[in-house]
Every structure is written in structure tokens, then in C-alpha cells.
């Protein structure tokens, strides 16, 4: 089998790109690790895990897992962080959840106080 130099270089770049986490400003080593762990666990059924005040526009669903200020939260319609039409990532400690009502397969949670 004959491999060209460009094919080997492309394969190397692809493998390196898959193994690297994207650096985000303000992320600690712990929050980066926990974010990667959540992605590996496929907690959002293949959708990306939002990191910051706003969830991923036109991608995140209500109750998707996200991270804000290094703390795990959920994407909910709160409109408190200036996210426009995107859902807002609210940390779990500020949410009130109803285990008897499911939304996208998870308990329904909403913001209980100021974000």
C-alpha cells in the first residue's frame, strides 16, 4: 500500500484534532475535564454541551445539560442573560424541578430566582 506524504499529514492532523479540547477563555482545568466527560457520556444525545450563559442557538433543547461559571446546569427558557432566542444556561442550584412532569425526557425545571 502506497501512502503519500499529504495523506499521512492529513491523517495525523485529523487524529490530533479529534484528541484536543478547544480552549475557551476562563475555563479551569476541572471545568474542561468535566465538560469532556459529559460529552463522552452523550448526555445531550449528540448535541453539544453549552458552556456559558447562553445555550447553543437552534441546537440545544430544553433541559439539555450545560455549564455556566464552571457549574453544571440546564438549558431553560429564562431570557435573563441576553441570549435572544437561545435558551439560557441556569445552574442547577437556581432551578426548581418537577419530577412528575417530563420535558425532552428529563424532569421539567424552571428558574426560581434571579440568575
Phi (first) and psi of residue 72, to 5 degrees:
-70, 145
Segment 18-64, tens digit of pLDDT: 443 334 445 566 567 777 887 888 889 889 999 999 999 999 999 99
Name the band, by pLDDT with cuts 50, 70 and 90, for residue 81. Answer: confident
Query: Does residue 15 carry a pLDDT above 60?
Result: no
Query: Does residue 115 carry a pLDDT above 50?
Result: no
Report which of residues 13 and 97 the model is more confident about. Answer: 97
- For 110, half-sphere exposure in the C-beta direction (CA atoms, 13 angstrom radius) is 4
Query: Are the C-beta atoms of 109 and 96 separated by less than 8 Å?
Result: yes
Amino acid at each position: 500500500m502506497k501512502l503519500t506524504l499529504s495523506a499521512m499529514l492529513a491523517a495525523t492532523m485529523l487524529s490530533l484534532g479529534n484528541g484536543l479540547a478547544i480552549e475557551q477563555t476562563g475555563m479551569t482545568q476541572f471545568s474542561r475535564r468535566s465538560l469532556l466527560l459529559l460529552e463522552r457520556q452523550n448526555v445531550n444525545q449528540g448535541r453539544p454541551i453549552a458552556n456559558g450563559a447562553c445555550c447553543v442557538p437552534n441546537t440545544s433543547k430544553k433541559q439539555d445539560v450545560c455549564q455556566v461559571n464552571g457549574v453544571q446546569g440546564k438549558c431553560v427558557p429564562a431570557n435573563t442573560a441576553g441570549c435572544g432566542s437561545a435558551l439560557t444556561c441556569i445552574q442547577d442550584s437556581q432551578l426548581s424541578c418537577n419530577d412528575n412532569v417530563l420535558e425532552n425526557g428529563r424532569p421539567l425545571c424552571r428558574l426560581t430566582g434571579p440568575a
